[in-house]
């Protein structure tokens, strides 16, 4: 019979709160936003008051670690499910402030009506209504006399029955005696097993990700500054999206005194949104670039002090892991590193966030950048390797499935072989002539405008300085920067009227970036018709489509936009042939672009 890997107890709520106050159980999310709205807090209190079950809490104990003097230290329990419920109780019953989605400290006040024995979210009308206790935190304040509270309430509400009011408030106070299920998981369980247990016990079945486990480990370790490191990660990610958040972070006095706020202060004037990392992105990049591992479960193990050789847990490994992670997070936040990395990605032609379809490809590109800098590779070579690897990753979908395994494999190979040898072998194997000539044109048979192939094609046009379809002066880069839409060479309405389906007329080989006024002029005309008018324009006729008035310039424009020569005579019958020819031309442009990176 398998050994039971957990225990189940039923402690009263007041005991749980005492454990949390003393640090026996740690809430890792205490510095992260409280996502429940006040109505959900009210409903939780109502369920407790009625004696209804409110689900299980799940705690996972940190493993015992061996201290430097050889003694063993018992690990604290981390609350991995039930954080919102416990935080809601501490906020409403004890009057603790919570941090909202804007990282501002706020109070959640829940009101109680002793006569009707019901709860409501406190509001100005309730505060003025003497029949309500507008903030139940006063009931649970240890300095509050229940006798005085009842007398004051009845004094404000003549004619009320003191005994009934007393019983109602006594029942309210009694909810902290209600028991709640606590599942305590064994410290030697791995992340996968903990996740399975979480999903099976949690009624919502929302899986925890390994970054959440890592962040929990970071947040609860105050010995090595994990609580402040956790804030640095959260605050940086929030500030990268909303620069004004700097003022909120500055009001966090303990954080403002730390080394981290000055290191990220450059973000308050930064509006570039090409790379807005989440805490998961930041953890992945920092961990993989420093520890040369790609699986975040290994970070959890290292932060717990695991010695991968002896299978024991040691305090010296905890200390070393936190120090290394801290330094890596600082490197991630470094203004010079971050901006130079973004500059490299932009120099590859990826000039707008809409062109970044794979966040993991971007993450690994930053990992590669930081890794090569640490190896003192010349800057010019770093730029070349990072550009090429990023485009290769996007084209091949290298990190689209099982990204952690791919990260782990790639960083180990780069570390063992060196980037020059490894990248050359990967390029040779995955971007052979067969890829450019046959596989890529075949893969471009898709109608998804956000396709990585179309994004790379646009990047190639940006990099090569191409101009918009039928434009004599305005570049693709300028059109992308003003968020111009893609248009159809064979007009969509024309194809729809000829019975083609959405998947047929919305082919990426039918997409082109053009000025809106040119697209409007084309309307729903078939190519043979509107190109006839363009040719007339080149012979001195009336201008209807941009400023191209020279046949050679027209030919040049069609070539840079990979439009087959025969487009001038094409009708609906030629559409399949047009798509096939243009896919091949687009693939060859991408090949030329990649080889020139």
With 90 as the cut, is the pLDDT of residue 262 above it? yes
Q: Is residue 469, in this structure, part of any structural domain at all?
A: yes
Q: Is residue 433, in this structure, part of any structural domain at all?
A: no
| Domain end among 183, 201, 219 | 201
Q: What is the pLDDT of residue 322?
A: 97
Please, which residues bridge with residue 306 across strands?
Answer: 313
Q: Please name the residue that has the structure tokens 């004037």.
A: 269
- What is the band of 70 on the pLDDT scale with cuts at 50, 70, 90? low
Name which of 571, 553, 526, 540 is nearest 469 in CA terms: 553
Q: What is the pLDDT of residue 443?
A: 95
With 50 as the cut, is the pLDDT of residue 30 above it? no
d(CA 65, CA 312): 8
Q: Is residue 483, in this structure, part of any structural domain at all?
A: yes
Q: Is residue 38, in this structure, part of any structural domain at all?
A: yes
- What is the band of 192 on the pLDDT scale with cuts at 50, 70, 90? low
Look at the chain and report how many structural domains it folds into. Answer: 3
Q: Please name the residue that has the structure tokens 């008051």.
A: 49
- What is the band of 409 on the pLDDT scale with cuts at 50, 70, 90? very high
- What is the band of 317 on the pLDDT scale with cuts at 50, 70, 90? very high
194 and 239 housed in the same domain: no
Across all residues in the chain, what is the average pLDDT?
Answer: 90
Per-residue pLDDT reduced to its tens digit, 576-587: 999 999 999 999
With 80 as the cut, is the pLDDT of residue 312 above it? yes
227 and 165 housed in the same domain: no
Q: What is the pLDDT of residue 208?
A: 60
171 and 294 housed in the same domain: no
Torsion of CA 397, 403, 409, 414, to 10 degrees: 70
With 90 as the cut, is the pLDDT of residue 212 above it? no
Q: What is the pLDDT of residue 54?
A: 87
Q: What is the pLDDT of residue 150?
A: 94
Name which of 388, 401, 340, 344 is nearest 596 in CA terms: 388
In the 8-state DSSP scheme, what is residue 566? G
407 and 469 housed in the same domain: no
56 and 181 housed in the same domain: yes
d(CA 570, CA 523): 16
Within 23-129, residue ranges assigned H as helices are 38-50, 83-94, 124-128
Q: Is the dihedral of CA 306, 309, 314, 317 positive or negative?
A: negative
Q: Is residue 434, in this structure, part of any structural domain at all?
A: no
Residue scoring higher pLDDT (39 or 72): 39
3-class secondary structure, 12: strand
With 60 as the cut, is the pLDDT of residue 32 above it? no
| Domain end among 428, 460, 487 | 428
- What is the band of 500 on the pLDDT scale with cuts at 50, 70, 90? very high
Q: What is the pLDDT of residue 183?
A: 86
Per-residue pLDDT reduced to its tens digit, 88-98: 998 999 998 88
Name which of 349, 352, 582, 334 is nearest 469 in CA terms: 582
Report the run of H or E that residue 430 belongs to, with start and end.
helix 419-430
- What is the band of 200 on the pLDDT scale with cuts at 50, 70, 90? low
176 and 125 housed in the same domain: yes
Q: Quick one: average pLDDT of 49-67? A: 78
565 and 514 housed in the same domain: yes
164 and 223 housed in the same domain: no
| Domain end among 166, 182, 201 | 201
Q: Quick one: average pLDDT of 246-253? A: 87
Token readout for 284 is 């992945």
Range of the structural domain that residue 390 is part of: 210-428
Q: Lowest-pLDDT range, 52-66, 262-276, 334-348?
A: 52-66
- What is the band of 537 on the pLDDT scale with cuts at 50, 70, 90? very high
13 and 77 housed in the same domain: yes
218 and 191 housed in the same domain: no
Q: Lowest-pLDDT range, 300-309, 369-378, 393-402, 421-430?
A: 300-309
Q: What is the pLDDT of residue 191?
A: 65
Q: Is residue 518, in this structure, part of any structural domain at all?
A: yes
d(CA 524, CA 543): 18
84 and 159 housed in the same domain: yes
Strands (DSSP E) found in 28-73: 56-61, 65-66, 72-73
d(CA 578, CA 111): 69
166 and 100 housed in the same domain: yes
* Residues 137/88, Cβ–Cβ less than 8 Å: no
With 80 as the cut, is the pLDDT of residue 42 above it? yes
With 70 as the cut, is the pLDDT of residue 218 above it? yes
Q: What is the pLDDT of residue 31?
A: 42
With 50 as the cut, is the pLDDT of residue 205 above it? no
Q: Is residue 1, in this structure, part of any structural domain at all?
A: no
Q: Please name the residue that has the structure tokens 């209804």.
A: 52
Q: Is residue 511, in this structure, part of any structural domain at all?
A: yes
């Amino acid at each position: 019979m398998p050994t039971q890997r957990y225990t189940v107890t039923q402690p009263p709520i007041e005991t749980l709160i005492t454990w949390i106050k003393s640090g026996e159980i740690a809430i890792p999310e205490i510095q992260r936003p409280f996502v429940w709205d006040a109505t959900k807090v009210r409903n939780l209190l109502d369920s407790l008051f009625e004696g209804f079950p409110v689900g299980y809490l799940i705690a996972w104990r940190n493993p015992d670690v061996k201290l430097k003097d050889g003694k063993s230290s018992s690990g604290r329990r981390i609350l991995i499910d039930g954080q919102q419920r416990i935080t809601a109780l501490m906020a409403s019953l004890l009057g603790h402030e919570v941090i909202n989605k804007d990282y501002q400290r706020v109070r959640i006040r829940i009101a109680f009506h002793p006569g009707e024995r019901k709860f409501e979210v406190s509001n100005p009308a309730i505060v003025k209504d003497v029949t309500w206790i507008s903030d139940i935190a006063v009931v649970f304040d240890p300095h509050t006399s229940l006798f005085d509270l009842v007398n004051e309430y009845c004094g404000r509400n003549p004619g009320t029955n003191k005994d009934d009011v007393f019983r109602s408030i006594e029942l309210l106070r009694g909810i902290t005696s209600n028991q709640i299920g606590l599942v305590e998981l064994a410290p030697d369980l791995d992340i996968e097993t903990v996740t399975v247990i979480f999903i099976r016990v949690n009624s919502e079945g929302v899986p925890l990700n390994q970054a959440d486990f890592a962040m929990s480990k970071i947040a609860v370790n105050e010995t090595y500054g994990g609580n402040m490191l956790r804030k640095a990660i959260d605050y940086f990610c929030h500030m990268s999206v909303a620069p004004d958040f700097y003022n909120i972070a500055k009001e966090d006095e303990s954080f403002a005194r730390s080394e981290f706020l000055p290191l990220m202060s450059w973000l308050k004037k930064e509006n570039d949104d090409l790379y807005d990392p989440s805490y998961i992105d930041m953890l992945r990049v920092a961990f993989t670039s420093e520890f040369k591992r790609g699986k975040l479960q290994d970070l959890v193990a290292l932060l717990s002090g695991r010695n991968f050789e002896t299978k024991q847990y040691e305090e010296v490994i905890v200390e070393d892991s936190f120090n290394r992670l801290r330094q890596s997070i600082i490197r991630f936040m470094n203004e010079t590193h971050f901006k130079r990395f973004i500059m490299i990605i932009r120099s590859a032609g990826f000039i707008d966030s809409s062109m970044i379809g794979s966040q993991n490809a971007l993450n690994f590109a930053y990992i590669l950048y930081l890794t090569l800098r640490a190896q003192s590779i010349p800057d010019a070579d770093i730029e070349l390797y990072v550009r090429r690897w990023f485009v290769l990753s996007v084209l091949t979908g290298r990190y689209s499935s099982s990204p952690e395994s791919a990260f782990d494999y790639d960083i180990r190979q780069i570390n063992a072989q060196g980037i020059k040898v490894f990248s050359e072998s990967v390029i040779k194997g995955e971007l052979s002539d067969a890829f450019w000539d046959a596989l890529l044109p075949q893969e471009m048979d898709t109608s998804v405008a956000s396709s990585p192939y179309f994004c790379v094609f646009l990047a190639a046009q940006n990099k090569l300085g191409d101009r918009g379809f039928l434009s004599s002066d305005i570049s693709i880069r300028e059109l992308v920067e003003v968020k111009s839409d893609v248009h159809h060479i064979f007009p969509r309405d024309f194809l729809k009227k000829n019975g083609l389906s959405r998947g047929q007329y919305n082919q990426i080989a039918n997409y082109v970036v053009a000025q809106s006024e040119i697209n409007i002029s084309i309307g729903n005309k078939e190519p043979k018709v509107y190109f006839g008018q363009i040719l007339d324009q080149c012979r001195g006729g009336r201008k209807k489509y941009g400023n191209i008035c020279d046949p050679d310039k027209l030919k040049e424009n069609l070539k840079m936009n990979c439009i087959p020569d025969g487009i001038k005579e094409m009708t609906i019958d030629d559409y399949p042939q047009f798509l096939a020819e243009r896919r091949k031309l687009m693939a060859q442009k991408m090949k030329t672009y990649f080889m020139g990176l």
